[in-house]
Chain A
């Protein structure tokens, strides 16, 4: 029996071997699938916002909520479990613009800002991006199969995609 593990919003899970990591209904959030296929350890991060707030008055913000803090945090944990940085690859999905508010072109741009922030951080950490399904205007559910590294993307109105 393969384990299917749910990843919530502002959340991250690490799994092994032939587990399946799932995150439901990404809107402008982004699901980041990371895998070291040699040791068969993978992670799925579900981030909401691009950058960890500097000078935030709120103490102890959740590092898993932001692209620029969730990715380094997750990679450190993966390395502790035996992954090697140079073997880790990434696939990403999400970053949609769910509503088009007329007369307010900036509303909902957080999706594309999230996508940029994720790609920036992956570049900084030298993690190659091997597949992406981002942008446009619909929600996505991500199934990340660790045994072969494939990412299945389901949506309400579009055909299922495989990355």
Chain B
């Protein structure tokens, strides 16, 4: 039985997504470490399926200011990925990356925005590479689009673009530590249902 809705994902499906999450996070940590030229520690990625409202609460409420970086996925997998980081993590990433003492989140310069956008790009690419390695499906991604706004407004984008299908979101939560600074990153994986089924089949799950 093909999966029609995110709600129908069972333990085995979740394990597949967790594996994608772990490999993706590993790739991302390696890439970040190269970029920052510093060792990076990471926790095991947590993969969750959340309701829109629970996702809002998990990430600090609808009005929490966050940076969202979005890429659309094309080719054999269709959908989108959104990388969401909160204020503290943004300041930690930018200050580490650009070697600055302090960063003002409320007044980010063009170069600081570009740095965050690049980190988002690396994170998204790391997960896409993980899916590609495991499934051998070709995936193309668009140049990342960035938005700094209230969490609720950003989180509603995948729900609306995929709106008619489901209001559940696949969430991968990562925690990186570099220089005793904490970077918590949240990746939203939003494949079309057809693409999600394709991934499962390629990974040997009988539907």
Contact = CB atoms under 8 A, between A and B. Distances in A.
Contacts of B143: 101-103
Residue in A10, A26, A138, A139 whose Cβ sees the most chain B Cβ within 10 Å: A139
Chain A contact residues: over half helix, strand or loop, or mixed?
loop
Given A48-B163, A49-B164, A156-B148, A101 B142 contact: yes
Given A110-B160, A140-B153, A141-B62, 5 more contacts: A9-B159, A24-B62, A26-B153, A107-B72, A108-B157
Interface in B58-81: 61-63, 65, 68, 70-72
B2 to A, nearest CB: 13
Contacts of A157: 148-149
B152 interface: yes
Given A9-B52, A157-B149, A27 B156 contact: yes
Nearest to B166: A58
Interface residues of A, number: 34
Interface of B: 52-53, 61-63, 65, 68, 70-72, 142-143, 145-154, 156-157, 159-161, 163-164, 167
B150 A102 contact: no
A99 to B, nearest CB: 4
Interface in A1-58: 8-10, 24-29, 48-49, 53, 56, 58
Contacts of A28: 156-157, 160
A96 B154 CA distance: 11
Interface of A: 8-10, 24-29, 48-49, 53, 56, 58, 65, 96, 98-104, 107-108, 110, 137-141, 155-157
Nearest to B66: A156
Contacts of B62: 24-25, 141
B72 A101 contact: yes
Contacts of A100: 145
20 contacts: A8-B53, A9-B156, A25-B150, A29-B156, A29-B160, A49-B164, A65-B163, A98-B153, A99-B68, A100-B145, A101-B145, A102-B142, A103-B142, A108-B157, A138-B149, A138-B153, A139-B150, A141-B62, A156-B63, A156-B148
Contacts of B146: 99
A141 B153 CA distance: 9
A26 B150 CA distance: 9
Contacts of A103: 142-143
Given A25-B150, A49-B163, A101-B145, A141 B63 contact: yes
